[in-house]
Amino acid sequence: MADWPVTLHSFGDIHYFYGPPTNNPPHHRFDKGSYVYLFENANDRRARIEIANHPGTDDQDAFDGFLDKTHVQYTYNHQCMVTLTVGETTDQMEWHLPTYDPQNQNKYHYKLHSLDIYFWKQEDALQFVNGIRRVLPPAQVEVLDEPAQPSHHHSHHQADPVSAVVQQLEHAAISDPHYGSPQQPQQQAP
């Protein structure tokens, strides 16, 4: 997929939910050490995710899905976790992952309801969220407890106090009556 460059290749522990997480008992599974890939197509303003579980083992499985109809939630209070809630899909291959039925008798490809990705590094979680923010509408990406960005003007003056010498020079320049007055044009030699 030449139009779908990988914008993130990371590792995470994934908690998959096949129904609402509030169900009791929940229908879910948890996988450690999964590969997480984020692909973006900036031209089409789309993104998709692929996650491979238990890579390189006999239990390896994976899924992928476009993020067009997902809700993404991230909070700076839980800096490594990103929650994806999956919307409606028409493709039976998308957002489906094999797991045992709630009675642990047979394995089926169930559609995912939501998943919590616990990235191993905070930088990866931020890169994932910011990558999605670039292409998805703001209504689909909820970022909570985001620190306020200081304005450059205020941070410059706080970090760089003006020295007394500079203040004296500024005062001298402002109080000098010749400061800012037009200078006489210089004579040019013939």
Q: What is the pLDDT of residues 121-178, one digit of tens each?
A: 999 999 999 999 999 999 999 999 988 877 665 544 454 555 666 666 665 555 655 5
Q: What is the pLDDT of residues 9-49, one digit of tens each?
A: 999 999 999 999 999 888 999 999 999 999 999 888 899 99
For a pLDDT cut of 70, what percent of the chain falls above it?
Answer: 77
Mean pLDDT of the chain: 84
Integer Cα distance of 80 and 115 in angstroms: 13
Is 14 inside any structural domain?
yes
Peptide bond into 25 cis (omega under 30): yes
Is 44 inside any structural domain?
yes
Is 140 inside any structural domain?
yes
| Residue whose tokens read 């008798």 | 105
pTM score, whole prediction? 0.74
The DSSP secondary structure of 172-190, one letter per residue, reads HHHH-TTTTSPPPPPPPP-
Is 99 inside any structural domain?
yes
Is 109 inside any structural domain?
yes
89 dihedral zone (left: phi>0; alpha: psi -120 to 50; beta): beta
Is 85 inside any structural domain?
yes
Total number of domains constituting the chain:
1
Q: Going along the chain, which residue ranges are E strands?
A: 6-17, 28-41, 46-53, 61-66, 70-75, 81-86, 96-100, 107-111, 114-119, 141-144
Integer Cα distance of 19 and 17 in angstroms: 5
Give the domain range for residue 49.
Answer: 6-144
Read off the amino acid at residue 132.
I
Query: How many of the other CB atoms lie within 10 Å of CB of 62?
Result: 15
Is the pLDDT confidence value at 66 over 90?
A: yes
- Name the more confident of 187 and 101: 101
